[in-house]
Structure 1
Amino acid sequence: MKIKDVRVSVHRFENFVPLINKPIEDDYRIICEIETDDGHVGIGMASRFLWHGVAASVAKHLGPAVIDMDPRDLEKIHARLQPLISERGSMTGINLAALSCIDLALWDIIGKASGRSVAQLLGGAKDYADVYVTYGFAAYDIDHLIEAGRRLVAEGHTRLKMLVGSKLGVLEDARRVRAVREALGDDILLAIDANESIGLEDAARLCPLIEDYNIAWFEDPLRRVDARDLGMLRKRTTIPLSAGQMDGHALRFREWVEHDAIDIFMPNSMYNGGMTETRRVAHLSQIYNKPLSDAGGGGVWCLHHVAGFRNGTLAEIHVGTEQVEAQMFVDPPKAVNGRVAIPQAPGFGVTLNKERLKETLVEV
């Protein structure tokens, strides 16, 4: 089996904040399709950032380099691509997003060729992933937060995440978190996410104001999730800290571990170099007895690592990503009572909606 063609395209999808119908920022996706000489087609993807640059990197640099290689030879392929991604050191951003596109498509091919899901290839711990829902946007006022949360609970969800660190300030963030907890009750798992938006002192001010409200984790609490500052924050709060959605390659997680800065590993295979890198992160999480979760709108691509590894805990449903995948795929997996079953089809188990993708195509 040899790689014969690598195709890449950019697509723009619209999505909206539920309840108030306010547009979320347009969601751009870079879709990579790799085709083999025996007819297998694998799908890979990156998302949102510098989409033209990512697509050009795949089309002009990484794609041509893997032609005529066996897609199952992951280490050999990564050895060839590494000098193209970074001559020295470990890069992030466009470099790893482009690699993610290629690598995810390879895993999809390997799964399809073997008749197994990616979750099974990773270890097959479960055939499902329990999920949490990211819903608590800054665009909501407190009444909206409560109403949207109640609607999700009525749909069978018991794990919710809301955003903090907005321009509203620490005291207002705390007031919003307390209001949601009091309205939805103690039986709901409630997490918060600052999207790397605040400094150490503000995060340290926020945590004591909400520690008594049983917060499941505080995700990406600090700007650049600096390992030293994150370690300092962890010593000042009882709320578990998580990170890894944007630059979560193995070296970054090692740095957080060495600074005793992290409780929950949250890699995203669309940004960190793909499922091969996520597998390395997962093994590191097992070595250090840390739970393995997911964040950053990874959708179906991250569902599999949560199900595949025995320390996998929760996959994310982001209400924006959910809308995008409903347009992108023919029949994307959906949550039932807070749980998503791994698709029964091999690989990642999804089929692109080619007609819809014609409408969303962006000229590159």
Structure 2
Amino acid sequence: MKITDVKATLHRVPIEVPLLKEKITTSILFAVVETDLGITGYGLTRGSQRFGMREFINRELAPFLKDKNPLETERVWNQLYKQFNPRAQTGMWSSAVSAIDIALWDIKGKHYKEPVWRLLGGAQNPVQAYVTFGLKQYSKEQLVEVAKQLVAQGETRLKMVVAVDPENPKLDAERVRAVRHAVGDEVELMIDANYLFSFNRALELCKLVEPCGITWFEEPVYQNDAALLADLRRHTSIPLAAGQNEGHRFRHRELIVNRAVDIAQPNVCSVGGYTEAVKVAALAQAFNLPIANGGGWPHHNMHLQAAMANGWRVEFHFEMWGVGDKIYKEPAAPDHGWVTLPETPGLGLEPRFDALKEYEEK
């Protein structure tokens, strides 16, 4: 089998979320890889540096990949690495290669007539799932209302964003306490600061919400600084998670070896696709750490979590979950804290090309 064409397009997808009047618009890059046997694979990554990524894929990666065997994912990944990124930089390269690698694994699954999660290892199905509902845009009252709605629907694992004001952790603590009081002690609750706290403010919030029984605190400090995370981890009883936007196993190694995290969070749409993500999962497993999906894109990351023995749970973030529902036909969804992966060959994701065309960004 040979690759005959590679094309990347950009899309801005409007998402409706509960209780908010205005839609949230999310940018993505969508990659299509075609082969001489008529099998087509589809990949996706987040829209950060999206115009540069589109040009990089269409003008550099596409001609380089032509005539290569899409089934040889390890060979192709390393060829891309040596040709375009010999100094192991992250950012645009990692995201672009993520989209391509995801598409190649989609082709591989369709060729071998197996779902990607099974080709990668097939450790478990269904997989635990959680819903990220607690957006910054919500008032405290709206947070409580949406949390109650989700619990009434049977969801038992919820995550909310903190660092609404990075200099005022007391505001976040009030919001966390309000949600905990509303949903009770049986519902798991996680928090995510998206890198926005200084060490002192992160520690302050930890002490304020430790009584709330937080399952994990995600990416609490600037830059995912491994030294600061390790120090914070020694000063709080709340488990720490990080790594969702890290590109390359080397950054994850820094977090794991320095004992900066309790949960590793490789995201296949950022780290370099499945080919790189399974290496991070194996590294975490060698340190007896679980991996969990952070950073969204559940319909792609669920394959990694189901594949690995230390895969723990899939994140259904209102925003990225909504994108998947808009651009794919009937993708998987959480049900009472679990998601069941399809037996469909490849990723099991059938694009809605009419929606992709409608939301395309030229």
1:322-341 deviation digits (Å, cap 9, x = unpaired)? 22111100121122222211
Partner of 2:241: 242
Corresponding residue SS for 1:190? strand
Q: 1:302 to 1:100 in 2, by over 3 A?
A: same
1:41-75 deviation digits (Å, cap 9, x = unpaired)? 01111112111111111111112111111111122
C-alpha separation between the residues in 2 aligned to 1:174 and 1:66? 50
| Cα pair 2:164 2:171 within 8 Å, conserved | no
Q: How far did 1:167 drift?
A: 1.7
C-alpha separation between the residues in 1 aligned to 2:100 and 2:177? 43
Partner of 1:62: 61
> Is 1:3 aligned to 2:3, yes or no?
yes
Partner of 2:170: 171
| Cα pair 2:41 2:104 within 8 Å, conserved | yes
Q: How far did 1:16 drift?
A: 3.2
Partner of 1:155: 153
Partner of 2:76: 77
Partner of 1:12: 12
C-alpha separation between the residues in 1 aligned to 2:258 and 2:86? 27
Q: Could you tell which deviates more after superposition, 248-257 or 299-308?
A: 248-257
> Is 1:218 aligned to 2:217, yes or no?
yes
Q: Could you tell which deviates more after superposition, 153-162 or 251-260?
A: 251-260
C-alpha separation between the residues in 1 aligned to 2:36 and 2:267? 30
Corresponding residue SS for 1:38? coil
Q: How far did 1:272 drift?
A: 1.0
Q: How far did 1:297 drift?
A: 1.4
What amino acid does structure 2 have at the position aligned with 1:224? Q
1:247-282 deviation digits (Å, cap 9, x = unpaired)? 153111111122111000111111111110101001
C-alpha separation between the residues in 1 aligned to 2:248 and 2:96? 14
Corresponding residue SS for 2:344? coil
| Cα pair 2:297 2:324 within 8 Å, conserved | no
C-alpha separation between the residues in 1 aligned to 2:248 and 2:164? 27
For residues 245-256 of structure 1, what are the structure 2 equivalents within 5 Å? 245-256=244-255
Q: How far did 1:23 drift?
A: 2.9
For residues 5-154 of structure 1, what are the structure 2 equivalents within 5 Å? 5-24=5-24, 26-88=25-87, 90-154=88-152
The RMSD of aligned alpha carbons is 1.2
| Cα pair 1:58 1:101 within 8 Å, conserved | no
Corresponding residue SS for 1:335? coil
C-alpha separation between the residues in 2 aligned to 1:70 and 1:81? 13
C-alpha separation between the residues in 2 aligned to 1:44 and 1:323? 17
Partner of 2:292: 293
1:216-242 deviation digits (Å, cap 9, x = unpaired)? 000011111100111110011010000
Q: How far did 1:187 drift?
A: 0.2
C-alpha separation between the residues in 1 aligned to 2:2 and 2:162? 47
What amino acid does structure 1 have at the position aligned with 2:18? P
| Cα pair 1:62 1:84 within 8 Å, conserved | no
Corresponding residue SS for 1:124? coil
1:102-155 deviation digits (Å, cap 9, x = unpaired)? 111110001110111111011111222211110111111111111100101111
> Is 1:341 aligned to 2:340, yes or no?
yes
C-alpha separation between the residues in 1 aligned to 2:316 and 2:293? 9
TM-score by length of 1: 0.97
Q: Which runs of 5+ in 1 are unaligned?
A: none
1:170-193 deviation digits (Å, cap 9, x = unpaired)? 111111111111111000000000
For residues 296-307 of structure 1, what are the structure 2 equivalents within 5 Å? 296-307=295-306
Query: In percent, how many aligned pairs have the same letter?
Result: 38
Q: How far did 1:83 drift?
A: 2.9
Q: Could you tell which deviates more after superposition, 202-211 or 252-261?
A: 252-261
What amino acid does structure 2 have at the position aligned with 1:156? G
C-alpha separation between the residues in 2 aligned to 1:79 and 1:336? 38
C-alpha separation between the residues in 1 aligned to 2:206 and 2:78? 43
| Cα pair 2:77 2:275 within 8 Å, conserved | no
